[in-house]
Structure 1
Amino acid sequence: MVESAPRASAPASTGTGFDVVFRAPRLIGPNGEVSGSVGVRDGRIVAIETLDAALDAAREVELGDDEVLLPGMVDTHVHVNDPGRAEWEGFPTATRAAAEGGITTIVDMPLNCLPPTIDSGALQVKRKAAQDRVHVDVGFWGGAVHGNLAELRGLHEDGVFGFKCFLLHSGVDEFPPLNVTEMEEALRTVAALDAMMIVHAEDSDAIEHAPTAHGEDYDDFLSSRPRGAENIAIAQVIEAARRTGARVHILHLSSSDALAMIASARADGVRVTVETCPHYLSFTSEEIPDGGTQFKCCPPIREAANRELLWRGLADGTIDCIVSDHSPCTPDLKHFDIGDFGVAWGGVSSLQLGLSAIWTQARVRGHDLADVVRWMSSRPAELAGLQRKGAIAVGNDADLCVFAPDDAYVVDVGKLNHRNPVSAYHGRALAGVVRNTWLRGHHIAGPDADSSTPRGEFLNRGEV
C-alpha cells in the first residue's frame, strides 16, 4: 500500500473533492470482488468509481497487487469486561486489538462487567467507562436475567441492540439465568418491542446430569458439556420463538446436530438466526492437549467431523455469521499450573485474530474473501441493524481494512494488543495479514496510523 502525503492545496471536504481516495486493484464489494476507487468525504463513502477514475482528493491510498480492500469487520459478540473486571480486558485494549485485526465495530456483551448491563443505570455506567477510550465504534447488548423483566423496555429505549439471556448458570452470579418459562415471558416483551433475544443455549438440566468436569483430560471436559445440552436448549428456544413470534438468535453454535432443526424452523417461518465462532471452525477436540485450558470454552470445541459439518452449515446458509465470542481473562484464571478443565475460566481470547483464523480455514475449503466478508462483516451488521456498516457501498461509513491474503504469520500472544497474553492460537500459523484499518476515513491501525487518539463512537440501535 502506498499513501500519498496531504497536498498543500487540498480541496475542502464540503466541495467536490474527497478527503481520501482508495485505489484498489482488488476490492470486495456487495456483489463480490471487483477493482475500483473509493471516494471518502466526512467519514462516509460517497463515490465508487473505476480504478483509474479522475477523483480529486486530499490524500490517496493506493493498494498493492497483493492487497485487497475489505469493509471493516463487525464483531457482535465481544466481552470487554469493563468496568469491574478491566484487568481481564478493558475498552482501550479490546478496541485497539479489534482495530489491529481489521474490526471497526464491536457490540459488547452485558456480563462479566460490574455492574452487568441489566438496567438503564448500569448501561450509563458502562458508557461512562468507555467514554473517550474506544478505538473502534462500540454498541451494547442489554441483559435479560431473572427478575429484570421490567427493565427491558428502558434498556431498549436507551439504544441497546437486543437482550442476552442464559438458560444455565452464566459463570458469574450477578447475571442469573432464565428458566424456560421466564425466557418465554421475556420473549413476549421482546416481541412487543420488535427487539431481538440472543441466547446462550445449553440446557441446565442436561448439564447437571452430565459427568462433572475435572482434571487435565479434555475428553472428560467435553463429556461434561454434551451436544444434547445444546440441542435441547435450541429446541426450547425455537418453540418459544414459534409461540411468541419473537426474533431469536442462537449464540456460539458448536453442535452441528442442531443445524437441521434450525433450518426446519426457518422453513416454518420462525424468526431464528445463528452464529458460530472461529475456534469452533479452527480447532478440533482431538488436537487439544492435556491441560490445555486456553482451549476451554462453553459450549466446547468438538470433534473434527463436527467442525466440518459447521463449515457445511456456513456454506449452505444455515449459519448466518461468524463472531469472536472474545472472552478473555487473566492468566491465573486459566490455572495453567494444574491444567484442570473443571476449575479454569471458560473463554477463548481471539479478537485480534478472527479474520486471519477464518481465512486460513476458509481458503482450503474453496471459499473466497467475499464469503468471509459476508460471514464476518455484512451479515453481522445486518443482524444487529447496523445499516451503515458491513459493506463498501455509497452512503456507508468509510470503515475499511487492507488485507494481504497471501501473507502469513505465526501467532505470538506477546505481540497481540489483548490485555493478557493468553490465547488458544499462540504458536499457530495463520494466513492473511491485516495491514491497515480505517474508521470513518481515519487511519487507526497500521504503519503511520494515528493509533494514539481514540476515534470510536457509541452506536445506538436505530441510529445506524
Structure 2
Amino acid sequence: MELGSVVSAVRSKRVLIGDELRPAVVVIKDGKIHQIVSHSSRLSEDDGCEVLDVGDSVVMPGIVDCHVHVNEPGRTSWEGFWTATRAAAAGGVTTIVDMPLNSIPPTTTLSNFHEKLREATGQCFVDTAFWGGVIPGNQLELRPMIQAGVAGFKCFLIHSGVDEFPHVVDYDLHTAMKQLQGTGSVLLFHAEREVEKPTEETGDPSQYSTFLQSRPDIMETEAIRIVTELCLQYQVRCHIVHLSSAKPLELIQKARQAGAPLTVETTHHYLSLCAENIPAGATQFKCCPPIRGSINQEKLWLALKAGQIDMVVSDHSPCTPDLKKLDSGDFTQAWGGISSLQFGLPLFWSSASKRGFQLSDVVRLLSRKTAQLCGLDSRKGSLAPGYDADLVIWDPEREFEIQEGSIHHKNKLTPYLGLSLHGAVCSTILRGRLVYRDRTFCPKPLGTHLLIPPKTNQAQL
C-alpha cells in the first residue's frame, strides 16, 4: 500500500475497543470510522478497496498533543509546521494544537491568527488546531478570535521567555475573564508567579540544583491559588499547563470540589526525568517550570492514576542549539524548553506500563482528554463510528533507541538522545490516509487546519 493512499479498512489481532484489546477490523469510509467488525469478516479488495493487515500490532486512536510550540512564522530556525508535523506523524500524533508563542507575530490578534493560518497552509502532515494568547491590552481581540476558530487562549503569570508575549497582571486577567464568560472558551495558564527571594542566587550556574532553587514549588502554588480563585469567581473554563510540582494538587482538588471548571496537564519530561539524574552543564534538560526530584515525580504518577491530573502532553518547545548554551553549560542563561513531540507515546508507555497503567489509560490521557480540552472531542481522540479515522499502529513491546538520525524535529537536541524506550510506532493514518510508515512519509502534507466552532452563536457573543 502506497503512502498517501486511502485505507478502506485496518485489520489487527489487537484493536483497542473501549478498555479491551481484541481482534477486529476498523472499516473506514470518507475519512471517518464507519464501523468496527469482527476480525474474521471478509472485506472485498476489488474496486481498489485497500485493506491494511497489520498482524498483531496495536491499533489505537491517534495521539492528540494539545501543547506544541511550532514557532512559525518568525522563528522557523527553531521549528516549523513542516518539520513539527512530520515528527508528530512519526510519533503516532495525528493532531497537534499550536501554542500562540514563540512565533513572530504571536497569535494575540485576529490579524496575527490569519497570518499564522497562511503560514501553516500546505505544510502540515497532521491536523493542526491553534491556541490564541492573552496579553496586556488585547481583550477586545478575544471574541473575534473565538469566532475565527481558535481552540482557546493561553497566558503567562511570569515572563514568558520572549518579549513579544508579555505576561499578564491581575487587571488583565479580570478583563480577559469578562470577555470569555459565556463563550465556552478556555483560558490556559502558565502557572508560575514571582515570589520574594530571600537572598541572591550565588550557586554554580552549571549545576542543575542552582537553576532548580531559582524556581521553587511555591511559585507554582501561588500562581495556582490565583487561577483557582478566578475560575471560581467567573466560572470560565481554566486549564493549568505543564504542572511540574505535586504540591499544588490539594489546591486544585479543593477548587474542583467547590465547582471550579478546572483541568490540569503534566508533561512527559516531568514523568520521565528527575533532577537527581541531570548532569552538570546538561542544559538540554532545562525547561520552565523545572524538572523536580524523584519523590515529587512519584507523586505526579499517583495523581495521574487517581484522576487528579487530566492529561499528558509534550510541551514541545525547541530552539536552535546555540540558545541552549552547551558550550558554557550555564543553566541560568540557556533557553528553557524540551523537544519531545515525536516520542511522547513511547516515553509515556515505557514508564506508565511499569506502574500498572493500561493501554486504555494511554488513550484517555494522551488522546481523549486532550481532544476534549480543545473542543475536538466530537471527532478526535476515540476509536468509534463517526470519528475521524485517525489511527496509530504501534508495537508496545518493541524496544528501540532514540538516535539522532531518526529524529524528525528540525533541531535534534533533546535530553532523550540515546534513551531506550518501549513502544515503536509502525504506521500513522490520518482521516483514512496512510501518512507515515516505517520511517517514511507521505510525499505531500495531508493535514488540515482545525477551526473550532464557537460554543455559542454570534448573537450571544
TM range (shorter): over 0.9
Distance 1:359 1:244 in 2: 37
Paired AA for residue 208 in structure 2: Y
SS at match of 1:205: coil
Q: Distance in 1 between matches of 2:170 and 2:18?
A: 39
Q: CA deviation at 1:318?
A: 0.7
| Residue pairs, 1:432-443, within 5 angstroms | 432-443=423-434
Contact 1:212 1:224 in 2 (8 A): no
Q: How far did residue 60 of structure 1 move?
A: 1.1
The DSSP-based 3-state class of the residue aligned with 2:381 is coil
Instruction: Specify the alignment match of 1:29 in structure 2.
Output: 17
Q: Higher RCO, 1 or 2 (CA under 8 Å, sep at least 6)? A: 2
- Once the two structures are superposed, residues 331-357 of structure 1 have per-residue CA deviations (whole angstroms, 9 ceiling, x without a partner) of 000010000001000000000011010
- The counterpart of 2:379, out of the listed 367, 374, 388, is 388
Equivalence for 1:232: 222
* 2:273 pairs with one of 283, 286, 301: 283
The answer to whether the 8 A contact 2:3-2:436 is kept is no
Partners of 2:3 and 2:442 within 8 A in 1: no
Flag structure 2 segments of 5+ consecutive residues without an equivalent: 456-461
Q: 1:307 aligns with which of 293, 297, 308?
A: 297
Kept in 2, the 8 Å contact 1:19–1:59? The answer is yes
Match of 1:405 among 369, 378, 396: 396
2:443 to 447, 452, 455: 452
Q: Deviations over 1:380-405 (max 9, x none)?
A: 01111112000111001110011101
Deviates further, 133-142 or 442-451: 442-451
CA distance in 1, matches of 2:251, 2:25: 44
**Residue in 1 that maps onto 2:260:** 270
Distance (Å, rounded) in 1 between the aligned partners of 2:125 and 2:443? 9
1:213-224 matches, cutoff 5 A: 215-224=205-214
Task: Provide the residue aligned with 1:50 in structure 2.
Answer: 38
CA spacing shift, 1:321–1:238, aligned 2, 3 Å = same
Taking the aligned partners of 2:199 and 2:186, their CA distance within structure 1 comes to 30
How far 1:112 sits from its partner (Å)? 0.7
Q: CA contact under 8 A between 1:191 and 1:246: conserved in structure 2?
A: yes
Paired position in structure 2 for 1:371: 361
Structure 1 position 295 matched with structure 2 position 277: no
CA offsets 1:30-50 (integer angstroms, 9 cap, x no match): 343232110001111101111
Match of 2:40, as an amino acid?
D
Does residue 315 of structure 2 align to residue 325 of structure 1? yes
Alignment of 1:336-351 (within 5 A): 336-351=326-341
Q: Please state how far the C-alpha of 1:259 moved relative to its aligned partner.
A: 1.2
Q: Which residue of structure 1 aligns with residue 414 of structure 2?
A: 423
Change (3 A) 1:448 1:202: closer
CA contact (8 A) 2:146 2:454 kept: no
Tell me which stretches of 4 or more aligned residues in structure 1 moved more than 3 Å. 3-7, 205-214, 447-450
Q: How large is the Cα RMSD of the aligned pairs?
A: 2.0
Question: Counterparts of 2:360 and 2:115 in 1: how far apart (Å)?
Answer: 38
Pick closer, same or farther for the CA change 1:213–1:141 going to 2, 3 Å: farther
Evaluate the alpha carbon distance shift between residue 296 and residue 448 of structure 1 in structure 2; reply closer, same or farther with a 3 A threshold.
closer
1:48-197 superposed matches below 5 A: 48-57=36-45, 58-65=49-56, 67-197=57-187
Distance 1:260 1:435, change over 3 A: same
Counterparts of 1:149 and 1:37 in 2: how far apart (Å)? 49
Aligned-partner residue type, residue 224 of structure 2: I
Kindly provide the amino acid, as one letter, of the partner of residue 88 in structure 1: W
**Unaligned runs of at least 5 residues, structure 1:** 8-17
In structure 2, the CA distance between the partners of 1:213 and 1:458, relative to structure 1 (3 Å rule), is: farther
Sort the Cα spacing of 1:372 and 1:212 in 2 relative to 1 into closer, same or farther, 3 A. Answer: farther
Query: Cα 1:330–1:208, aligned 2, differ >3 Å: closer, same or farther?
Result: farther
Q: 1:219 to 1:448 in 2, by over 3 A?
A: closer
- Work out the CA distance in 1 between the residues paired with 2:168 and 2:34: 46
Distance 2:434 2:62 in 1: 12
Q: Does the aligned pair in 1 maintain the 2:183–2:454 contact within 8 Å?
A: no
Cα contact 2:4–2:434 (8 A) shared by 1: no
Compute the TM-score of the two structures, normalised by the length of structure 1: 0.94
Contact 2:147–2:454 (Cα < 8 Å) also in 1: no
Match of 2:325 among 321, 326, 335: 335
**Post-superposition offset of 1:443:** 0.7
Q: Which amino acid aligns with 1:131?
A: T
